[in-house]
Structure 1
Amino acid sequence: MNTFNSVPDELSGPRLMRQDWTRLTFIHWAVDPDVVAPLLPAGTRPDVLDGVTYVGLIPFEMRRAGFGRGPAVPFFGDFAETNVRLYSVDDEGHHGIVFRSLETSRLLVALGARIAFGTPYMWSRMRIHQGGDRIDYTTRRRWPRPRGAGARISVRIGEPIAEPSAIEQFVTARFGLHTRYLGRTLWIPNHHAPWPLRTAAIESLDDELVAAAGLPGIAGRAPDSVMYADTVRTEFGAPVVIRDSVGQLEVVVVEAG
């Protein structure tokens, strides 16, 4: 098992983005690391806990998103999102996330993220409805293919989790992401407080997004872990290029306001 720090390091240098993540459900399936290894960027490998890694389906709401240290962007800074993600580690010791897809209800957000960092954002119709301790998420992709791929998820929110288990820490104590862009693998760090986790139970789950992300046959079985979380505020720092085949490491500085 790879050990990792459940408390994030403070960011140094410029900030790329600031945003709130709220009304978030973590849904995870345990899988053999060999299943996801071909889907990870060069220079990374599956992060493993007790012999398995995890595939996550994460619906939530983005709020107050903005660039650098500036204010939130009106309208475009608030939107629903659903992502399919994997868990990665590199030789520099960065334990992160690899996004296979990110559905968003804002077309300009999807286009901007693809252009800026190659992040696989998709434009989708999305809705979040909450009544009491039940929350419902609906997603249907508009662009790109496969058009119409989506998910309908209903979750019952439970009690606060006082002491997260090893699995719960493994899939939530993540303070950066790996992504492939212009032939290089980037590590993009972020910083946020520990998640205010709660127990949760799936009432219904009809998902096509995990299969569309290159992982068929997984979302058809019961998840191995389900949690809910309220709001955290996060900041993203400047990217670092992960060590390549000739052992070079460089820092990419992105100017931020």
Structure 2
Amino acid sequence: MRAPPSPTVSRPVMHQRWSELTFVHWRYPADVVAPLLPPGLTVETFDGSAWVGLVPFLMKGVRLSGTPPLPWLSRFPETNVRTYVHDESGRSGVWFFSLDAARLPAVLGGRAGFRLPYFWSDMSVTRNATHWTYRCQRRHTGVRADLDVNVGSHLDRPDELAHFLTARYHLFTLVSGRLAVATVEHPPWPLNKATLTHLDETILQATNLPAPDNPPLLHASLGVPVRVGMWH
């Protein structure tokens, strides 16, 4: 099954690559997730469930349009907690409960420029053959997300659920109390099977979500290049 086609961002404001990424997803009742969303957004479900993702990865080549990537600032780990929604116009996308990044300028820029709930954290991403390790410790708090993942074989034909969880081309946020959307362009994710060998996290509960009561579904990816449009 093919992923839904990506829109084209004709005037991107940012370029980056999302790399060495693992999607870790749990089912949640929709009525648990819905109260955490702003007005104007509705939970999207698959097989009757909302899905919450814990997504650690490595940002590479981060730059504003018309500027070169800066060696230290353009590469850093990030972890987000997210769910899937649509707005009143029917646009499907991502709502972020939190985003952690290892670079303070990225955190400040994400909060000021993109109005996203970024936090500054000590983080690392280690890739060793088929074993990927992620560490995230939010500064000045006990919030953490430590994962060890074994990456398996490539998925030649990702199923409908895999596309539902990964092929997302809109980001939502609140700007001055009003819902705003940005378009994201990227090719289809190259996905691999993955298994979780270690998880120690408090990051889900820090977003006011209850701890999951079901085993996670995992997909890993070497990554995709991304072009991000401005909020509108």
Which TM-score band (shorter chain)? over 0.9
Deviations 1:147-187 (CA, angstroms, capped at 9, x unpaired): 12101100000000011111101010100111112111111
2:4 aligned residue: 6
1:211 aligned residue: 205
Between the two proteins, the alignment pairs up a number of residues equal to 230
The structural deviation recorded for 1:18 is: 0.5
Secondary structure at the aligned position of 1:209 is classed as: coil
Secondary structure at the aligned position of 2:110 is classed as: helix
The structural deviation recorded for 1:70 is: 3.0
Question: 2: distance between equivalents of 1:227 and 1:196?
Answer: 10
Q: Is the 8 A contact 1:15 1:69 kept in 2?
A: no
1:19 aligned residue: 16
2:72 aligned residue: 75
The structural deviation recorded for 1:69 is: 4.1
Tell me which structure has the larger Cα radius of gyration.
Answer: 1
Mark the CA change 1:52 to 1:69 in structure 2 (over 3 Å): closer, same or farther: farther
2:192 aligned residue: 198
Match 1:151 to one of 120, 145, 150: 145
1:56 aligned residue: 53
Question: 2: distance between equivalents of 1:229 and 1:44?
Answer: 28
Secondary structure at the aligned position of 1:23 is classed as: strand
2:109 aligned residue: 112
Query: Which runs of 5 or more residues in structure 1 are unaligned?
Result: 241-257
Q: Is the 8 A contact 2:114 2:231 kept in 1?
A: no
Q: Is the 8 A contact 2:27 2:214 kept in 1?
A: no
Question: 2: distance between equivalents of 1:222 and 1:35?
Answer: 17
Question: 1: distance between equivalents of 2:65 and 2:178?
Answer: 23
2:226 aligned residue: 234
2:162 aligned residue: 168
Query: Which runs of 5 or more residues in structure 2 are unaligned?
Result: none
Q: Is the 8 A contact 1:138 1:151 kept in 2?
A: yes
Question: 1: distance between equivalents of 2:189 and 2:108?
Answer: 29
Secondary structure at the aligned position of 2:204 is classed as: helix
The structural deviation recorded for 1:74 is: 2.8
Q: What amino acid is the match of 2:229?
A: G
Moved more, 51-60 or 69-78: 69-78
1:188 aligned residue: 182
Question: 2: distance between equivalents of 1:48 and 1:172?
Answer: 14
Secondary structure at the aligned position of 1:100 is classed as: strand
1:38 aligned residue: 35
* TM-score for the superposition, normalised by structure 2: 0.95
1:131 aligned residue: 128
Q: Is the 8 A contact 1:41 1:178 kept in 2?
A: no
Deviations 1:1-38 (CA, angstroms, capped at 9, x unpaired): xxxx71112123x2111000000000000111111111
1:29 aligned residue: 26
Q: Is the 8 A contact 1:23 1:231 kept in 2?
A: yes
Moved more, 63-72 or 81-90: 63-72
Secondary structure at the aligned position of 1:98 is classed as: strand
Moved over 3 A (4+): none
Question: 2: distance between equivalents of 1:69 and 1:184?
Answer: 29
Calculate percent identity across the aligned residue pairs: 36
* TM-score for the superposition, normalised by structure 1: 0.86
Q: Is the 8 A contact 2:43 2:86 kept in 1?
A: yes
1:179 aligned residue: 173
Q: What amino acid is the match of 2:4?
A: S
The structural deviation recorded for 1:130 is: 2.0
